[in-house]
């Protein structure tokens, strides 16, 4: 999966490096200097494209999606010592960040299976600038749903759109008239009244936005009583934390989308060390 933004991001990463560190100016840049990266336990995902763009050779010892133990060797990088050490921190930052996301998502997927086999964990558009492609791919690697990459991927009717149009049912009507048949329509709601209007207007997905699990459960039960539950996909989003996410997973919902998996996942520790230096 290669996104059009990926090459531009790689160039941006290269710009981050600068010329070289002050100490490296005094070190000979011998060829064939070899380095290995180790890690603590976690699910591995990282992009190595930018290393190859810099002329380095990369040998991977694990595949994306592999679960590794602490101290595992992930990859070998071969090339000029100055180049490798110049990109060391950047490489580790990307690997640690993306692997932490994949690890957190895998943990949630396995947790959800214990209480509700149908619910999916999904990411949101809350991503770091320039890293959305990699963060979304990390979610996929972990077993989660990437949700929309861009706003244009689907019709998402948010509370601000409803405020401008004046009525949630009218907003859905406009979307159905103007949008392509291929685009699903999802609507943020905060009350049972709006949820009913959205379903009866023909939307595809209801997002229960920023409400606690008890309130969400009441809305879902009311939809079931009215015979509306099976006509719609239900997503819950916002206000979801590691502490309360299992309470949501136990509900009769289809998707849990949470921003913390890309913004606050605990980094997987990694390090880089010299294995062999070819001296002149």
For residue range 57-108, what is the model confidence (pLDDT) as tens digits?
A: 888 888 788 888 887 888 888 888 778 888 888 888 888 899 999 999 999 9
Task: From the candidates 59, 60, 63, 126, give the one annotated as an active-site residue.
Answer: 126
Question: Please, is 164 exposed, middle or buried when counting C-beta atoms within 10 Å of its C-beta (0-12, 13-18, 19+)?
Answer: exposed
The token duo for 222 is 């009311």
Q: Are residues 138 and 159 in the same domain?
A: yes
The secondary element (H helix, E strand) that includes residue 53 is: helix 49-53
List the CATH number of the domain containing 237.
Answer: 3.20.20.70
- Is 22 a domain residue? yes
Domain membership of residue 30 as a residue range: 6-104+266-276
DSSP 154-183: SEEE-HHHHHHHS-HHHHHHHHHHHS-TTS
Separation CA 130–CA 245 (nearest Å): 28
Q: Is residue 214 scored above 60 in pLDDT?
A: yes
Does 126 participate in catalysis according to the annotation?
yes
Tell me, yes or no, whether 1 lies in a domain: no
Check whether residue 123 and residue 186 sit in a common domain: yes
Report yes or no on 92 lying in a domain.
Answer: yes
pLDDT confidence of residue 38: 72
Residues 225 and 121 occupy one common structural domain: yes
Rg of the chain in Å (alpha carbons): 23
Give the distance from CA 28 to its chain's centroid. 40
Burial of 98 (0-12, 13-18, 19+ CB in 10 A): buried
Query: What average pLDDT does the chain have?
Result: 84
Q: How many domains does the chain have?
A: 2
- Counting residues of the chain whose pLDDT is more than 70, the rounded percentage is 83
CATH number (domain holding residue 44): 3.90.1170.20
Q: Please give the Cα distance from 122 to 120 (Å, whole number).
A: 6
Please answer whether residues 206 and 198 qualify as being in contact, where contact means their C-beta atoms are separated by less than 8 angstroms: yes
Per-residue buried b or exposed e for 250-274, using 16+ beta carbons within 10 Å of the residue's own CB: ebebbbbbbeebbeebebbebebee
Task: Give the global pTM.
Answer: 0.83
Alpha-carbon gap, residue 20 to 50, rounded angstroms: 16
Q: Kind and range of the H or E element at 188?
A: strand 185-189
Between 89 and 4, the higher pLDDT residue: 89
Torsion angles phi and psi, residue 273, rounded to 5: -140, 155
Do 23 and 75 reside in the same domain of the chain?
Answer: yes
Q: Are residues 120 and 254 in the same domain?
A: yes
pLDDT-derived band at 277 (thresholds 50, 70, 90) equals: low
Tell me the CA distances in angstroms from 253 to 43, 125, 147, 234, 243, one per residue in order: 27, 20, 16, 5, 18
Same domain, 254 and 138: yes
Neighbours of 144 (CB within 10 A): 25
The reply to whether 114 and 251 lie within a common domain is yes
Kindly state whether residue 64 falls inside one of the protein's structural domains: yes
pLDDT of residue 4: 47
| Among 260, 263, 232, residue whose Cα is nearest residue 245 | 260
Statement to judge: residues 123 and 259 lie in one domain: yes
Q: Read off φ and ψ for residue 131, nearest 5 degrees.
A: -115, 5
63 with 81, same domain: the answer is yes
């Amino acid at each position: 999966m290669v996104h059009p933004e990926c090459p531009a991001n790689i160039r941006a990463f290269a710009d981050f490096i600068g010329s070289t560190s002050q100490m490296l100016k005094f070190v000979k840049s011998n060829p064939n200097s070899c380095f290995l990266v180790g890690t603590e336990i976690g699910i591995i995902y990282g992009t190595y494209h930018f290393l190859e763009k810099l002329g380095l050779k990369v040998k991977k010892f694990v595949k994306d999606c592999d679960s590794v133990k602490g101290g595992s060797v992930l990859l070998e990088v071969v090339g000029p010592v100055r180049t490798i050490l110049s990109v060391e921190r950047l490489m580790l930052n990307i690997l640690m960040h993306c692997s932490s996301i994949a690890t957190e998502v895998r943990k949630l997927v396995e947790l959800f299976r214990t209480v509700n086999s149908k619910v999916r964990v999904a990411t949101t558009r809350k991503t770091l600038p320039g890293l959305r492609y990699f963060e979304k791919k990390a979610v996929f690697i972990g077993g989660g749903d990437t949700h929309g990459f861009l706003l244009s991927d689907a019709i998402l009717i948010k509370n601000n759109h409803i405020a401008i149009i004046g009525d949630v049912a009218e907003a859905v009507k406009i979307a159905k008239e103007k949008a392509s048949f291929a685009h699903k329509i999802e609507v943020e709601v905060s009350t049972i009244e709006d949820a009913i209007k959205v379903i009866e207007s023909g939307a595809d997905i209801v997002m229960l936005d920023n409400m606690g699990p008890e309130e969400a459960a009441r809305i879902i039960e009311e939809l079931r009583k009215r015979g509306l539950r099976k006509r719609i996909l239900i997503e819950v989003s916002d206000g979801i934390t590691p502490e309360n996410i299992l309470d949501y997973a136990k509900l009769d919902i289809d998707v849990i989308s949470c921003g913390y998996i890309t913004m606050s996942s605990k980094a997987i520790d990694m390090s880089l060390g010299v294995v062999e230096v070819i001296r002149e």
